[in-house]
Homo-oligomer: A and B are copies of this chain.
Amino acid sequence: MEKKIEIAENIKFLEKSAIRKIVEAAPANSVNFGLGEIQFPPPRYLIDHAKQILDSKLLGYTHNAGLLELRECICNYYNTEFNNNVCVSNGAEEALFATFFSYLNPDDEVIIADPTFLAYRTIAEMLGAKIVAFDLDAASNFSLNKISFQKAFSKKTKLVVLNNPSNPTGTCFGKDEIDLIVKTCAEKKVLLVVDEVYRELFIEERPESFFSHKADVICISSLSKSHCLSGWRLGWAISNQPELIEPIIKVHQYLSTCAPTLSQEIALKAFSKTGMEESEKIRQQLLTNRKIVLDYLAGINILPNKSLPYLFVQVEVNDVKFAYELAKKGAIVIPGSAFGANAYGWIRLNCGIEKNSFLRGLKILRSYLSFIYLIDN
């Protein structure tokens, strides 16, 4: 028998995701509420700037950590002085990978929420680390179960990773929850990594960044959501403590040299006054769509969330089966269970969808919900 080239032990667990199977069940022309990106056009202001840059600059490699001017801009966004404390990356995903790669040894423990964004678990496991999940309680709007959180720590805990606002629930941690999280991590000398990519898409009040806390915190964010620039691959990692970012810059060099230069150039404008006004327009569009969903699905339990573009909808029945059957009817949503067992019976619905297909998809969803409740209730 022929010997095959074996893949690395740490990646053998990587499988085609359950989500992919749902997508594959959907007929062509289905409405995809399952996407992790907002399908509005990016701000014309930034696109026009990109065209100017194309006419005036050569766009070679930048410093590994990003254009100096951009790193200064990012610091300014966090109301802080630049201090070699930022690494610009190919989107938040790469910032996350570079951060985990910089700090995790095999068998280290990484604490994540249940439910939370899938990639945290996957990246940690790709590096041979072990996952310990704490509970967000569905019964109390997915708030932090403080006992469960504190029980998650052990001598092997190296890192806690959160996203705030949360994907999939759209909730934010409250002040007392944040205080507990930051204080516990500081006491235990555990690195706190907070993915804040949805921060600008708040519903009423923009959540404070964890950056402002005096602890070992690395904040990760990007322009993919705030400025609808997902395909531009522009993210970053930032910390109050430059020494926490230094290894990430070194690792990032060997991951991808630098972030795309044109994307870095337009990021400079994304942080300008006009650029942030454009982000505000995206937020307003999402708020409009949210209202449509709330009206359309009146009577269905939708989680009172703090940020967009996701709405978390309680379907009560088996959410994976629900999503699979709904996909066959032409609307794709992500089952809550995909993000953790505590989200069983919920589905995630992205309301950042182009208007026509959005309404078409909502009709399919409402019709299926009515059908389900006729049978099950």
Contacts and interface: CB of A to CB of B under 8 A. Distances in A.
Nearest to A125: B254
Contacts of A255: 93-94, 97, 255-256
Contacts of A263: 260
Most chain B CB within a 10 A radius of its CB, from A7, A61, A104, A247: A7
Contacts of A190: 5
Interface string A35-50: 0110101100001001
Interface string A102-115: 11111000000000
A126 interface: yes
A161 to B, nearest CB: 14
Contacts of A233: 90, 233, 256-260
Task: For chain A, give the interface size range.
Answer: 35 or more
A39 B58 CA distance: 8
Nearest to A100: B8
A306 B8 CA distance: 35
A297 interface: no
Contacts of A93: 254-257
A229 B126 CA distance: 31
Contacts of A4: 243
B58 A247 contact: no
A262 B101 contact: no
A257 B8 contact: no
Contacts of A58: 39, 41-42, 231
A251 interface: yes
A63 B233 CA distance: 14
B256 A91 contact: yes
Interface in A195-250: 216, 229-233, 243-244, 247, 250
Contact of A256 (B11, B97, B102, B104): B97
A59 B37 contact: no
A9 interface: yes
Contacts of A55: 47
B11 A247 contact: yes
Contacts of A363: none
A60 interface: yes
Given A8-B104, A105-B9, A231-B61, A256 B256 contact: yes
Contacts of A7: 102-103, 247
A189 interface: yes
A34 to B, nearest CB: 13
Interface of A: 3-11, 14, 36-37, 39, 41-42, 47, 50-51, 54-55, 58-62, 89-91, 93-94, 97, 101-106, 119, 122-123, 126, 189-191, 216, 229-233, 243-244, 247, 250-251, 254-263
